[in-house]
A and B are shown apart, each in its own frame.
Chain A
């Protein structure tokens, strides 16, 4: 677990770099509020998270991070256009019911959208699938199929296609190698373990 926490800190820093100080940030699938807590400390943002789980919302509230328990899409529908300076969707996309609808809705309520995800095109995932012949498991998704939430694994190539197709402007992109730290210079869909995108309309 600690390994993930350490790995985690690097993508949080990148997300933090993209966030304007004192801006209004919405985190979709905020979990226990780690990222938002960091953004509040580091960037003094005005934060709110959405999560479906009562215990996660309790954890957020207990550390002073405002959180809303409920459905992500329904939450966003309740807000006017560009209400948030930034919407963050970190490690959430692959579990969404309708990822396109959520990302497009995030682009409506947010001036910018950060999407971060584990690249399932990463070579280790490919090999695991090819040789193991089993559901791909890695540091972020370590569980067997029967104890996992429904997932929609996404690759960098898939995501690039999606942005092109939906006319979403990619303002910035960061591809990290398997250590989630070192920038990936070439062949990101094969060599990058983790991807971060900064989207606008």
Chain B
């Protein structure tokens, strides 16, 4: 997903105190100090998951909602870390008091995935055996490992039942897998803009990203210092991936063919001389936008994590893992809602529909809804009253409405 969610300009009140906002939040770390075995049999002596929670856990400990983030997302899905933050958590429009995922009713939990680089244990973490970053000595992490590590977190937090698991894109896959692997604790699953099986096209895009990283000599087979590494390769990977999250229409609306205006001291835009500086520079606004996206990504993401997580995406194939998609979903006890977006060409509506149909064939309670948008894959982050109503309706049904009018 992109990280384009800009905060609305501050009016009178500070943004973090805005109505419906969870306000200032703090990440916490869950330290699992026992050995953890990955799906492939490899063991690490322990791990850390960085996570955030909003809203209170109720007495029966069954009102928790787990949010699963996408490839480049993290645990910070709502609120602000400080009043000076440029923008709030990535799903701030959806999560908060009175919002579609209502933190007055639900205890919302979001953790950075195992293998990630935003505070959870991953390739960038120190390998206790060597005292240096794991690099490519980190075990091959799968979504099942991510799910199982988060189950430990839930146990630690005392959650006995998840009211729901919610995720978009990669987060949708993890949410589905959570309901398959831990059916007894999952009440509802909401998966958006996702798939039951990483498609050939999506693997192909991931491969270009990985090649950009691995062909950068600074990658050095995954062995690089924390402040170094294949920055050029990672930026290119991000630029390419970023395009897959958008759409022809949304790019055109945002940038059109507008050219970058030269700054006060800059030379005028070059005419048709390939030798002039700037001819192959960022002439169009979309170019400078993508360059900026690439640059800001390398300051917050680790190249090895990118390799690991995209590989985990490629390997996600429920039919292959369980014999058939129906067999995978036969384990699910949760009620499911799948949401597709018409302009999503990374995980197109058909792949989302297929999830709901397979759930129904497996005899599960499942719904499918499709929103008409032209924003591409990232539509799941859209500010849409229609989407909010659907999410709220799905989560809040059956909850006793107390009537204080008597």
Contacts and interface: CB of A to CB of B under 8 A. Distances in A.
A115 interface: no
Nearest to A26: B360
A161 to B, nearest CB: 34
A138 to B, nearest CB: 31
Contacts of A60: 367
Contact of A58 (B365, B366, B389, B398): B389
Contacts of B369: 54, 57-58, 61, 67, 69
B314 interface: no
A75 B367 contact: no
B356 A68 contact: yes
B367 A61 contact: yes
B394 A75 contact: no
A54 B367 contact: no
8 contacts: A46-B365, A54-B370, A58-B390, A67-B367, A68-B357, A70-B353, A78-B357, A83-B361
A62 B401 CA distance: 14
Interface string A68-90: 11100001001110010000000
Q: Which 5 A-B pairs have the closest CB atoms?
A: A62-B393, A78-B357, A68-B368, A58-B390, A57-B369
B361 A80 contact: yes
Contacts of B370: 54, 69-70
Contacts of A59: 393
A170 B4 CA distance: 59
B361 to A, nearest CB: 6
B368 A69 contact: yes
A69 B365 CA distance: 14
A64 B336 CA distance: 11
Given A48-B360, A58-B390, A80-B361, A63 B397 contact: yes
Nearest to A74: B353
Given A54-B386, A61-B397, A69-B369, A75 B335 contact: no
B5 interface: no
Interface in B343-397: 353, 356-357, 360-361, 363, 365-372, 386, 389-390, 392-394, 396-397
A66 interface: yes
A61 B361 contact: no
Contacts of B241: none
B239 to A, nearest CB: 33
B135 to A, nearest CB: 45
A57 B386 CA distance: 11
Given A54-B371, A66-B335, A61 B360 contact: no
B397 A68 contact: no
A64 B398 contact: yes
A68 B365 CA distance: 11
B340 to A, nearest CB: 9
A63 to B, nearest CB: 7
Nearest to B335: A66
A79 B356 CA distance: 12
B337 interface: yes
Contacts of B335: 66
Contacts of B390: 54, 57-58, 61-62
A60 B371 CA distance: 16
A64 B396 CA distance: 10
Given A54-B386, A58-B393, A61-B393, A66 B353 contact: no
B386 A58 contact: yes
B179 to A, nearest CB: 15
Q: Which of B335, B366, B367 has the most CB of A within 10 A?
A: B367
A64 B397 contact: yes
A176 B396 CA distance: 39
A24 to B, nearest CB: 8
Nearest to B397: A64
Contacts of A68: 353, 356-357, 360, 366-368
A75 B353 CA distance: 9
A76 to B, nearest CB: 10
A130 B392 CA distance: 49
Contacts of A55: 386
Nearest to B389: A58
A55 B370 CA distance: 10
